[in-house]
Amino acid sequence: MSIGILIVDDSNYMRSRLKSALDDDAYEIVAEAQNGAWAVQKYKEHGDDIDIVLMDIVMRKANGVKATAAIKHLDRDARVIMCTSVGQRKKMDLAARAGADGYITKPFDDEEITKAIQSILADPA
């Protein structure tokens, strides 16, 4: 059984990069969203199939912190990994308070992504 993933990032390149990193039978990209508002909508539509949300923090429309809080409000057991740039400590603190379960720092390699996912799934909610 594959791990269902929702990828949220306003950058087409970054969404493509994450999909490429997760191009493995162990993962299924259930949905993608280019902003936080769409992420919440996609989670409402596909939440039963989503095991992990990979969420960018800084997006032009509905940032990742707000989207994480909204998703956690819908499903307190949702697992969200924030994707953040180096030097965004304040934003990471806000994301943690909103319910983020972990984070990866851009730029990242494929192994960092899979390790973060496995770590979150190994931790009983």
Give the pLDDT score at 124: 65
Residue 105: φ, ψ to 5°: -105, 130
Bridge partners (DSSP) listed for residue 6: 31, 53
Q: Could you tell me the pTM of the whole model?
A: 0.91
User: Exposed, middle or buried: residue 120 (CB in 10 Å: 0-12, 13-18, 19+)?
Assistant: middle
User: 8 CB contacts (<8 Å, ≥6 apart)?
Assistant: 32, 33, 34, 35, 36, 38, 39, 42, 53, 54, 55, 56, 59, 64, 67
Query: With contact defined as beta carbons under 8 Å apart, do 36 and 63 qualify?
Result: yes
Give the pLDDT score at 86: 58
Give the pLDDT score at 39: 97
Q: How many CA atoms lie within 13 A of 38 on its CB side?
A: 15
CA–CA separation, 110 vs 48, rounded Å? 25
* Structural tokens at position 44: 């409402």
Each residue's pLDDT tens digit in the chain (125 positions)? Answer: 799 999 999 999 999 999 999 998 899 999 999 999 999 999 999 999 999 999 998 888 788 999 999 999 999 999 999 988 756 667 777 777 888 898 888 888 899 999 999 999 987 65
Give the pLDDT score at 94: 76
Other Cβ atoms closer than 10 A to 74 = 12
